[in-house]
Amino acid sequence: MTIYIWGNASRYENYQRAVELAGDQVQFGGDPEDCAALLLPGGGDLEPWRYGQKNTASRGLEPERDAAELALMEYFTTLRRPVLGICRGLQTVNVFFGGTLCQDISEHGACDGVDRRHRVRTATSPLQELCGETCVVNSAHHQAADRLGAGLQAIQWTDDGVIEALCHRTLPVWAVQWHPERLGKLGETVFQAFHSLCQ
């Protein structure tokens, strides 16, 4: 199966490698018609006006990407095709469904370019079957979901209450705030589960 990622291959090599290891291939850009699912990777912040706020701490804005990925969300969810959001991708999912973001939680960001690690607890869900009730994940984000969008539910949190994963109640839409594409075995299981969801 083919997974759609907006952008170019050189920027998302880790994601491509993880998708291919799970048995799928990636299409970068172009017409998504023949793609089974959408992957929203990490990156810069979304423009705050898209969730009704002024810019107080957002950086690395990517307006063209925001517009493209939100349009892709409309396309894939209308067709009820699976979506996996990672880091910024979780935030894109939340904003698409009408949610808001915390613009800065720097204590969860990478330190000197190295991912932080922290413990998370997972609610009863298919994700809990992959992670268990608690596990340790990587962290390299300075923003997070705040008010959840329509139809979304949080299914994983840090000890201080930051949402680390969510899903849609009726659509095949999942998102994690951490980076499974660089998290070894646990990360591989996430992409394998996404592969199964796409079948």
Site of tokens 């991708």: 89
Contact 64, 146 (CB under 8 A): no
Name the residue among 7, 143, 132 with its Cα closest to residue 64. Answer: 7
Is residue 179 flagged as an active site residue?
Answer: yes
Is residue 87 flagged as an active site residue?
Answer: yes
Annotated active-site residue in 164, 179, 195, 198: 179
Is residue 181 flagged as an active site residue?
Answer: yes
Contact 30, 6 (CB under 8 A): no
Please give the backbone phi and psi of residue 117, each rounded to the nearest 5 degrees, phi first.
-130, 140
Annotated active-site residue in 35, 69, 87, 168: 87
What interhelical angle do 63-78 and 88-96 show, nearest 10?
Answer: 60
Annotated active-site residue in 168, 181, 195, 198: 181
Name the residue among 120, 138, 128 with its Cα closest to residue 182. Answer: 138
Strand runs (DSSP E) across the chain, as ranges?
Answer: 2-5, 25-28, 37-40, 83-86, 101-102, 116-122, 134-139, 144-145, 152-158, 163-168, 173-176
Q: What are the catalytic residues?
A: 87, 179, 181
